[in-house]
Each structure stands twice: as structure tokens, then as C-alpha cells.
Structure 1
Amino acid sequence: MPPRSYTSTLRAEQAANTRQRILDAAALCFTRGGYAGTSLADIATEAGVSVETVKLNGPKRELLMGAFEQAFSGSEGRETIAEREVGRDIRSVSDHAEFLRGYIHFVAEANRRTSGLWASFLSAASSDPLVQESLDDLLSRRRVDFAAAISELERRKLVPAGLTDARRRELADVLSFIVSPESHQQLVEQSGWSMERYEEWLLAAMERLVFAG
């Protein structure tokens, strides 16, 4: 029994490592060539595996979603950021200033890793209904995450007490807008800001537009 168990575990680890390589390769290919301009063969070449291996991890739209999730948060899956280890780690920081720096740094780095991939995602969704469904699911989870972020800010008394449900939703929308991948694309990629300046701006924008309630 132990040798069989060991072999099974080894195969599972190898499969997981292969999938991670495929998703990393998909992220690069989709960013460079767009969704329509990327084939499974392109992904296979980039990952150093066969096309059949990529197909076993596909179809392409699922590779797009998995690639985005892995690039954004470090792993794929339907869990919100708040439910993932990275979200729990950020919330566990008791010092408010350190918590905010950690949150801003995570978002900024996630945007840096996924900015081009996000553009490909949006473009693909505009012409492929199945990709649009994946995008809608991702945006739904994103809304849950920003609602959770506002709740955490309330718990820490970083926003005024007594917010109505409608105002909470508004603040979540504002926060989502501030830290969107588009903000990184415009300020860092198009305007040439450094990542340090970008993080400073994110924090200042949160203080002005969210903390005031």
C-alpha cells in the first residue's frame, strides 16, 4: 500500500506542476497575442508540453480564467480573495497602517501581473459568450471581495460608523474602481509611473474617497 500511495501522490504533484506551467504559459501567450490570436499549440510550445497535454487542461476559455486567477492571487479556484490564504494573511495584521500597506501592495502587484491578461479577457468576452460568462462570474466574486474589504475597514473603524447598506455598496464600487487593473494600465504602463508612486496614489485615493465615508 505505501508504494502505491506514494506513486499516486507523486503523479498528482506532477499533474499540478504541469498545469501550473500551462497556466503560466497561457498567461504569457494571451498577454502577447490576445485570446483570438493564441492557439493551444502556442501554449503547448511556451509550456514545453504536447498539445494533447494542453487539451487535457483546456478548453481555451478555462485556461484563460485559470491563468488570470493564478496570476492574480497565486492559485486558481473559485474562492474569493477574502477566502484565500493571502486574504486571511492580510486581515490578520493588527496594525491598521501595516494592514493598509499590505492590502495596497497586494492589489498593486496583482494588477502588475495581470494588466495585459485582463485586457485580453475583456476583449475575448466581447465576442465569445462563454468567455463573457466566465468574466461575469469573476466580476461577481470581485464584488463580494470589495464588500468584504469595506466590512473590514468598518471593523477597524477606518470608515465612519453607521453606514447604510446602500452607502456600503457605493464605497465598494468606489474602491473597486480605484484599484482596478485599468488604473495600473493607465498610470504605470501608459503614463510611466513607478510602482512605488502607484501604491502611494492608491492609498491617497482610498483615504480621500473611501475613508471619508
Structure 2
Amino acid sequence: MTRQEKKRSYRSALRTEQAAQTRRRVLEAAAACFAESGYAGTSLPGIAARAEVSPETVKANGPKRGLLLNAFEQAFAGAEGEGGIAESEAGARIAGIADGQAMLLEVAAFVASANARTSILWGEFMSAANADEKIEEALNGLLERRALDYKALVEALVERGVASGSTDIRTAAATLSFLWSPEGHQQLVLQSGWGQERYTSWLADAARLHLQDTAGATRG
């Protein structure tokens, strides 16, 4: 590679990095605007002002419904995209934990933190899906990925002895998805005043008890 080619490559990599940083800032601003003003009450110029970029930059990262989905993905998992949590950096780290109880606690902490960032935004996502078919499609895709994530989690906990091998994987995954939903964070933390530490402990305890009950019911 010539010196000129190296220079062009460096500039290209720099522009790519800057574009990624800008997009992340736009999505962070979008998440805040949607949570504060709702989907209908949020405008692209409003997102631009919050992100301190031009409206054209926001439009280039849009459309608005796409910003809603991608903002939620980034806020929840740390990165946007159609991959499941298992494919994320945090998911890979958690998957490497050999001890089942330690894994359960780590996943509970991850979900508790993610729900704290997104529970209000999730409500706006659900409301917007009722009025926009494209957002409803995106929501359905997100729910499908979430179901697969919980199925993989239960399977991992079975492998590590937290749940019995006779556990009904599908039922346990669906119940965990319900217990650990963003709506639960809204009710327990935002409405009932629980602290985040108490909420995190409750997630782990509720999952552990449910997995034990499911295994017992299956054996019975």
C-alpha cells in the first residue's frame, strides 16, 4: 500500500468512526425525546436540537419509526441491530460464565439495568405500534428475538443445573419474559418506589423460584 493509499484509508476509517459516533448520539437523543414527549410529540428537529446536530443529519439516520426501533435497541442492549442479546458483547461475556447461579445473577443485573433505561421508551414503542403498521412489524420482530433470547437463557440455566433437565423450556422462557418485562420495572420501580438493587434481587429470586416450580410441576 502506498503512502497516499494509507492516507485515504485512514481518512475513510476516521469518517466511518465519526459517522458511527454521530449516529449513536442521534439515537441517544431520540430515545430521550421519545421517552419525554412520546412518539407523536417528537419531531426530527427536536431530536436534532437534543443531539446538537442538523435536522438533515437526523433525517439521514431516520426515518422517525426507524429511529424509535434503533433507539430502543441501542438503549437496551448497547447496540442496534437484529441480532439477539447472545450476539452482543454483554451476551458473550454472560455466556462464558460457567456457574449457573452466577450467570443468573449477572443476567438479572443486565436486564434490570436495561429495563431502567428503556421501560418508559418501551411504553411509547407499544403505543406507537398501535397506530403504525411498520412500527408494529418492527415490534413483532423485536418480540420474536426476545423470545429466542429467553429460550437460550433457560437452556443455558438448565445446562448449569439452575433448572432441571425436565423443565418445559418454552413455558419457562415465556414466563421469564413476562416476569422480567419492562412493564414490571415501570410498576415496581417507577410506580411503587422500589430501589434498583431491590428490583435486581427480585428478578433473580423470581426467576429462580419459577424455574424450580416448573421443574417440580413437570416431574409431578
TM-score, length-scaled by structure 2: 0.93
Kindly provide the CA deviation profile for residues 173-194 of structure 1, in whole angstroms up to 9, marking residues without a partner as x: 1000110001110000000000
Q: Is the aligned partner of 1:85 residue 2:89?
A: yes
CA–CA distance in 1 between the matches of 2:172 and 2:200?
19
Partner of 1:56: 60
RMSD value over aligned CA atoms? Answer: 0.9
Q: What's the counterpart of residue 195 of structure 1?
A: 196
| Structure 1 residues not aligned, in runs of 5+ | none
Counterpart in 2 of 1:9?
A: 13
Residues 84-109 of structure 1 deviation map (CA, whole Å, 9 limit, x = unaligned) = 12111012112333212111100000
Residue 45 of structure 2 corresponds to which residue in structure 1? 41
1:127 counterpart (114, 127, 131): 131
Deviation at 1:202, TM superposition (A): 1.0
Q: Which residue of 2 aligns with 1:74?
A: 78
Kindly indicate whether the alpha-carbon contact (under 8 Å) linking 1:174 and 1:210 is maintained by their aligned counterparts in 2: no
Is 1:160 matched with 2:164?
A: yes
Q: CA deviation at 1:3?
A: 0.5
What SS does structure 1 have at the residue aligned with 2:212? coil
What is the aligned-residue identity percentage? Answer: 51
Aligned to 1:211: 212
SS of residue paired to 1:210: helix
Amino acid corresponding to residue 153 of structure 1 in structure 2: L
Match of 1:109 in 2: 113
Q: Does 1:98 align with 2:140?
A: no
Give the corresponding residue for 2:173.
172
- The answer to whether the Cα contact below 8 Å between 1:178 and 1:205 also exists between their aligned partners in 2 is yes
Contact 2:38 2:124 in 1 (8 A): yes
2:218 maps to which residue? none
Counterpart-to-counterpart distance in 2, 1:92 and 1:211: 23
- Opposite residue 203 of structure 1, the aligned amino acid is A
Alpha-carbon distance in 1 for matches of 2:33, 2:134 = 20
Give 1:30's aligned residue.
34
Structure 2 counterpart of 1:4, one-letter code: R
Query: Which residue identity lines up with residue 200 of structure 1 in the other structure?
Result: S
* Contact 2:94/2:107 (<8 A) preserved: yes
Separation (CA, whole Å) in 2 of partners of 1:160 and 1:94: 16
Distance across 2 between alignment mates of 1:70 and 1:161: 34
Q: Deviations over 1:64-88 (max 9, x none)?
A: 1110010001111111001212111
Unaligned runs of 5+ in 2: 216-220
- 1:117-163 superposed Cα distances (whole Å, 9 cap, x missing partner): 10110010011111101100100100110110111011112111234
Contact between 2:100 and 2:157, CA under 8 Å: does it hold in 1? no
**Separation of aligned partners in 1, 2:212 and 2:10:** 52
